[in-house]
Structures are given as structure tokens and as C-alpha cells.
Chain A
Amino acid sequence: MIRKIIFGVWLIALPITASGQANQAPAVVLKDLRGRSIRLDAYKGKIVLLNFWATWCPPCRAEIPDLVKWQRQFRSKGLQVIGITYPPTKLRHVRRFTHAVGVNYPILLGAKKTRALFDSSETMPLTIIIDRDGQVRDRIEGILLPEEFEQKVKPLLDQN
């Protein structure tokens, strides 16, 4: 009887554990614009917005001023925006654009396969929301709208 109960509990717990592992953000190490290696898991404890973008993508460029604003506004609450761009892109265009807009968060250089680790769609931009435990909480395709930030990111920032 006890064996049956233990087996039943194990069966119930199994999918929860499995889905927990599936939601864990992949361990990624990428170079930033200065050539320094940055580990994604170094940001554990923060609410990370992993923003896949490109200079050739107009909506990507359009949403970055909002990301800059939110990074400034919610840094003290633990928000960490990280931009990831990947070829085809020219490094000098990335540098010029991020400087012009005043990007106040790390920009990392990835590859298409970096993005594929997080999402199978090809929509640009794409923002992955990662919680303080390193779990992927949501994927936002297209521009991250202010109302989506309010609904999906703010509650995570309010949790300590």
C-alpha cells in the first residue's frame, strides 16, 4: 500500500520536475562589445529581459528606447536588460546605434543558434523574460509593449 502511495506521489511530481528543468534558461556565455565573456547565469537573482535584436530590424530599434528607460527606472528593483544581436550585422553599426540611443545595459554578440536555444520562432524582436531563479517565464514576440511590461515584468519585479 505504502509503495503504491509513494509511486503515485512520484508520478505526480515527475512532470512538475520535468517542466521545471525545461523552463531553466540555458547556460550561455557570450562576448560583449568589448570582447569580455559574459555568463548569463551571472545574473541569477535578477529579473532578466533577454532581448534579441538587430540593427536592420526597425521594430527592434524602435523598442530599445523603452528598454533603456525601464533599465534606468527599475535597476534598483533588480531589472537587468541584456541585448543579444547576431549576424547578419556589422559591429560598427551596432556600436554606433547603441551609442546614439544611450544603451545602458550589456550588448552581447550571439549567433542564430543562440536564439534557437530560447525560441523556435524567427520573429524579431524577441524578448525572453527570466526570473530571479533563472527560469524562463515568458517569451514576447515583437515589440515588448508597455502594457505587456506592466502585466508580465512588473509583478516579477515586485516579488523579492
Chain B
Amino acid sequence: MRKTTSIIAAVAVLLCLTVASAYATTKTATIRVEGMKCDKCSASVTKALKAVDGVQKVDVSFEKGVAIVEYDDQKVTEARLREVINATGFKAVEEKTSSAPSASSEGS
């Protein structure tokens, strides 16, 4: 009897974890970055964003002055991404999130 209860509990935990991960979504944030005038300097934005837990893909264009970031919204927020950009000496001036939800398992 005790063994059966343990198995049921384990299955329930596993089920919860599966459901939780299915709800985790990958979002894409397009963040305008002010002050990126040199290609040589913009590498720091890419590097700093990639170091953030939950960030999956980063595409920084100094010509367009934008950072396009794919991230797991269960782990990091867009506000945090903007803070990280600001810490590199540039300024994340505008946020324009195009939510592109997809199962996190697809992104990984």
C-alpha cells in the first residue's frame, strides 16, 4: 500500500513538472538601444544579454540600433533585459514586445 502511494506521488510530481514546462514560453523582445554608434562597442550588449539566465538568442544590430532577444519568460523579464542593456553603458529607450509564444521545449 505504502509503495503504491509513493508511486502515485512520484507520477503526480512528474506530471506537474511536465505541465509547468509546457506553459513556459519563449518570448521575443525587440528593444531599441540608444547610443550604439560603433560596431566594435555593440559586442558588449550581445555578451551581457547572452550571460543572462533564460536568454536563448540575441541579435544586436548597431546599424538599426536594436536588440532582438528571445527569452524564457519564466526565468527573466523584459524589464531585466533592459536593465542589462543599460548596464553596458547604452540606453534601452523603448520597448516593443512582439510576443511569440511557443512551447519552451520547441526552443531548446
Contacts and interface: CB of A to CB of B under 8 A. Distances in A.
B48 A145 contact: yes
A122 interface: yes
Contacts of A145: 47-48, 51
Residue of B41, B45, B47, B88 with highest tally of chain A CB at under 10 A: B41
Contact of B44 (A56, A59, A122, A147): A59
A77 interface: no
B51 A59 contact: no
Interface in B1-48: 35, 38, 40-41, 43-48
A123 B40 contact: yes
- Size bracket, chain B contacts: 10 to 19
Interface in A49-78: 56-63
A141 interface: yes
A147 B89 contact: no
Interface in A114-155: 122-125, 141-143, 145, 147
A24 B88 CA distance: 31
Residue of B44, B46, B88 with highest tally of chain A CB at under 10 A: B44
Contacts of B40: 57, 122-124
A57 B87 contact: no
A63 B40 CA distance: 15
Nearest to A123: B43
Contacts of B35: 58
Given A58-B88, A60-B89, A62-B89, A124 B48 contact: no
A122 B41 CA distance: 9
Residue of A124, A141, A143, A147 with highest tally of chain B CB at under 10 A: A143
11 contacts: A57-B38, A58-B90, A59-B44, A59-B88, A59-B90, A60-B41, A61-B89, A63-B89, A143-B47, A145-B48, A145-B51
Interface of B: 35, 38, 40-41, 43-48, 51, 87-90
